[in-house]
Amino acid sequence: MAVGTLGAPLAFQASAALPGAATRAEGSQGAKSTKAVKQPGTPFACNGQILESVSQGGKTQLHLGTAGAGTITFAPVGVPQPEYNAIAVNQADRLIYGMDSADDSLVTVDATGALTDLGAVTGLPASTTGFYQVGGSGPDGDLYVMAGGTDQNTLYRIDLGTRSATALPLSAPSDASDLTLSGGYFWGAGLSGTQGRIVRIDPQTGTVAYFPFPSPGFDGSGAAFTYGNGDLGFIENSTGTLYRVAVTNPGSADPTLKVVSTQTSPTSGRIDATSCFLTPADLAITKSSSPASYVPGQQITYTLRVTNNGPNASSGYTVTDEFPAGLTNVATSTPGCTVTGRNLSCTAGALPVGQSRDITATATVGPDATGTISNAATVRGNDPDPDTSNNTDRSSLAPSCGCSHNDCGCGHNDCGCEHKDCGCGHKDTTCEDKDHGDVNVGLIL
């Protein structure tokens, strides 16, 4: 088990870069590999594919994930193959690379689920824990693997062209059970005692850092992958919950890690995952409210509309909206959406080019609300998005400022109007709006 506490991020500095390592790629997924080695097999379409392998009884079955409203389902691809692990898609030839669990040889798995054994890897020592179970595609397109278990101190880079391995000593043990690349770094999830944490590894230097997992109760993930926009996906073994984690400032000493959505999936004990998102889809969101102005205590209905502007179909997306303190009782009946406090999170599946899908939510204006109430909704596509300028839209509610009072208007409280002399027998009843400047609106009886 890796050392350290969860109270603050810990970084351990390694001494030198891995010989021959590529310069860190800072793109969304981080591994736009150019290393196509022309192995046999049918390539994956890479149009938003999340792939999960499940191993049991000496066999491994590949599954293809389909995102939906609040769920992700997995269907088998082909038939079970001899057991393999430490999988990652090479984006250049669009094949899965991994390790044979029986003899540590390098294998590929194609879009039909068929396995090809490429043979032994020169310079790769036999695993002390039985097999290599941790793997990810690096910024150079090579496969990086680790045995895991008690052998957590060395990551091996396997050159896919020469099938030779180079050791990358780690500055501290990594307890991640899978690795995925984003922002030029490997990310994984593990446990420190009973507390979940995220592990970051610099593939150039081997520097390891730990950060608290941004959701309570997380108990470890055997599967990790990267979305097309660079978000991280972790599948929790015990519950099957898929956590989508957004990363801001990935290379900083204290990156911001935030769970933006969860989806349910089947549970399984021995899983691994990878993904391939190469077809861009421009998702845009608009947000509107009804009515367009408010009085305290009023219910507001919000409509969030997601539109796919192309050029390709979207494989799915997440929408988030953090409602401000002036609103209470946030609720929605839209499938795939959940509300925690005032935070709305929605997931959805495929959206064809040119089509739109709506989310409806309601909220009640608090009794003490004043001024403009404004908040923004954001859509995060599963696929690369060529135009992020339309991923967020804001709705602003102004108070209703009608300070004309019929029948003397006793108790009327439009936009915080205070009635100085609100007795119906008074000949000069004035309403002063402290917030909006509506003064001296008099009623003469």
* Domain containing residue 331: CATH number: 2.60.40.1530
Domain final residue, candidates 277, 302, 324 = 277
* Domain containing residue 26: CATH number: 2.120.10
Q: Say yes or no: 16 and 50 in one domain.
A: yes
Q: Say yes or no: 148 and 194 in one domain.
A: yes
Residue 2 within any structural domain of the chain: no
Residue 95 within any structural domain of the chain: yes
Domain count, the chain: 3
Q: Say yes or no: 324 and 251 in one domain.
A: no
Residue 70 within any structural domain of the chain: yes
pTM: 0.84
Query: pLDDT tens for residues 136-187?
Result: 999 999 999 999 766 889 999 999 999 999 999 999 999 899 999 999 999 9
Q: Which residue intervals of 56-165 are DSSP H helices?
A: none
pLDDT of 283 > 80? The answer is yes
Mean pLDDT of 238-263: 96
Q: Say yes or no: 213 and 125 in one domain.
A: yes
CA-closest candidate to residue 327, choices 295, 287, 379, 366: 366
Tokens 């003064």 label which residue?
439
Q: Say yes or no: 359 and 329 in one domain.
A: yes
Q: What is the pLDDT of residue 87?
A: 98
Q: Say yes or no: 216 and 230 in one domain.
A: yes
**How far is residue 402 CA from its own chain's centroid?**
44
Residue 380 within any structural domain of the chain: yes
CA-closest candidate to residue 190, choices 247, 158, 157, 152: 152
Q: Say yes or no: 270 and 327 in one domain.
A: no
Q: Say yes or no: 48 and 186 in one domain.
A: yes
Q: Say yes or no: 424 and 301 in one domain.
A: no
Residue 4 within any structural domain of the chain: no
β-partners of residue 402 are none
Q: Say yes or no: 219 and 285 in one domain.
A: no
pLDDT of 427 > 50? The answer is no
Q: Say yes or no: 325 and 254 in one domain.
A: no
The pLDDT confidence band at residue 12, using thresholds 50, 70 and 90, is very low
DSSP string, 324-378: -TTEEEEEE-STTEEEETTEEEEEE--B-TT-EEEEEEEEEE-TT--S-EEEEEE
Domain final residue, candidates 381, 399, 417 = 399
Domain final residue, candidates 262, 277, 292 = 277
Q: Say yes or no: 217 and 195 in one domain.
A: yes
Q: Which domain holds residue 222?
A: 10-277
Give me the amino acid identity at 304.
Answer: L
Residue 249 within any structural domain of the chain: yes
Cα distance between residue 330 and residue 361, in whole Å: 7
Q: Could you give the 3-state DSSP secondary structure of residue 227?
A: coil
